[in-house]
Structure 1
Amino acid sequence: MEFRDLKMPYQKYKHEIDGAIQKVLMKADFISGAEIHVLEERLAKYVGVKHCISCANGTEAMTLVLMAWGIEKDDAIFVPDFTFFSTGEVVSLRGATPIFVDIDPNTFNIDTSKLEKAIKSVIEAGKQKPKAIIPVDLFGLPADHHEIARIAQKYDLLVLEDAAQGFGGNINGQKAGSFGDAATTSFFPAKPLGCYGDGGAIFTNSDQLANLLNSYKVHGKGTNKYDNVRIGLNSRLDTIQAAVLNVKLTAFIEHELADINQIYKRYHERLEGIVGVPIIPEGYYSSFAQYTIKLENKIKRDTLKTRLSEHKIPSMIYYSKPMHKQEAFRSREYDESNYLVANALCDTVLSLPMHPYLVEEEIDQVCKIILNV
């Protein structure tokens, strides 16, 4: 059994994917080829924004936005404490300070009441200037973007939606990737929409920001790549990955997103009341980058993980360590009472096999072991 099956979709769409790659090879149009522009237009239309700017990966997508916004030393950027490292990493790369905020115990996304408390605390301390919020659409579920927008407006903050795990999710029909002043996603192979290597994209309705990003991602180019008007990066999505993504985007829209939500329902029917199952608030739709359950304590979580492994069923712990405990951020002191939820989840969460190509027998097998344990 695969945790996130990357082989099955290739087998299903082998003819289309091989043909798309072969077309690029025949044209030798490897950098900034036509497939890039087709993909960007399709992604922008799907998400419902004016601009999509592709780039090398999801981490650099966030980095590019922070560069374009002029984020620098003494700026404070508010980040959820329970997420992948890169969301805080990009802040420190700019010399700014990531302010980690505890999460909601039901959605696993940033707790908006604690977010506002953290903003007030930074303002009162007067050491950093609150500048932006980076909410994460964790495990496929969009964050509480409407409340985040209210808070951001109140304190004059920018919002960068990290939709790397949330692509395909929505709130009352508004797609992940369309919230905030800008949003980013990742095409890492195991993401809801993944390519066959690294890739990323940025979404925005701002013409000015889009122009800056298109410059920053190609060495700060001006009218052409040899006219360099600012210090930038080399962060381009290559044409072969775009060709693959164009095929996979069609499958994602036509059936994969619906299929993975059907699998969620099957898990939910069998596991509700047995373990803590994902909670999807009314009006929200998840793309289920992960299906993450909660156990009562670390011993029970670890026991279940071992038992699944004995039956050759993969499972993963996302995440075993909160952001504020990462060694890379050791220079700062943290009050553990501010991170009770994140600390507890690191000891109790377990992610089960989850992808659009899981079959009924595999779901039954996973659930049977959980019930037995």
Structure 2
Amino acid sequence: MTSPTATSATRSRCTHPTGARTVGPAELGRLRFAVSPVWEAVASLKVLQGQGSTLHDPWAQVTRPRVRDAGLDLGLLLALVPRAGHLADFVTPTPHGREGSMTEALTDVREAATEVVEQDLRILLSESPTPSSREVLVAGLRDPASVRDRVADDLEAYFEVAVAPVWERLRGLGESDIAWRLEQIASGGLHQVLGTLHPRLRMEGERLVVDRTCRPGPTTPGGGLVLVPCAFAFPGLLFLDMPGHSPTASYGPRGVGTLWREAPDATGTALADLVGRTRAGAVVLLDLPMTTSQLACHLDVTPPTMSQHLQVMARAGLVAARRRGREVLYARTQLGDLLVASTHPRGPSVGADR
């Protein structure tokens, strides 16, 4: 079992980072990707408190009134996920599959080891919390087991109000990032991808080094490394190495800077005159792959209507479809890129990154 100090060190939120963590060849050999609604929800709590990149301000400005109007009590969650410093390990369990479900994650939270919960509470108390958070944490130490259920219930309610309305966008961005990085692994190898995920990650020989953690040391042996693209984590890096879970790194996905842009209004443009307003908007948005449902959400049309538009654009060679499991992702073709560049002045650059 990892010591309390070492466990807290595996996160990148400690107050005084001093060392590095390493992920060895065994874990890298079992590497997988996942998207996670609970990781997005937890990371968004920091954004809600004004920490992180200002690119999420459009979401925060809409969400703060929603949370207030819903009458949510975030006292416990904000004590466990403060604006800066340690973030409670047990609230972000490693996703089970390629797309972790909120239900599975909340079950894991409710089943977290009492010792881990108590350890998180003590670490957070040691970091000079606000008076209100201190009161919550001290009360939690009297009954750490009850904290798990309360946190799971609060996370579920918060997710429905704050994250569920934008989950399709977040999921689409994460899936697009995963698809792109898998292609990079196929063409350039694992080292190339791992070395470009985040400035604090680098490859040294056959090991992945995570810089600026609280104490250097080996990761917990067991499951393979799990990489979780998480929009609300940007521009930071979250790293989990908790007993019973695979080492998990959460990073800002490619294209996160486009997440909150408004759907393009193609009215009056040459592109809209050529293919119609909705199709023009879709072509502009598809610099990153999306599903029919994700595009429909952006453009405020029904999925069946969006599907008809995509079929027409695919036949015209403006977009191309690629199946991933049970879903079909659409992306702009080279012809679509050229058309956007020449007829739509507001179109994003090809392969827009963060």
TM-score (normalised: structure 2): 0.28
More helix by share: 2
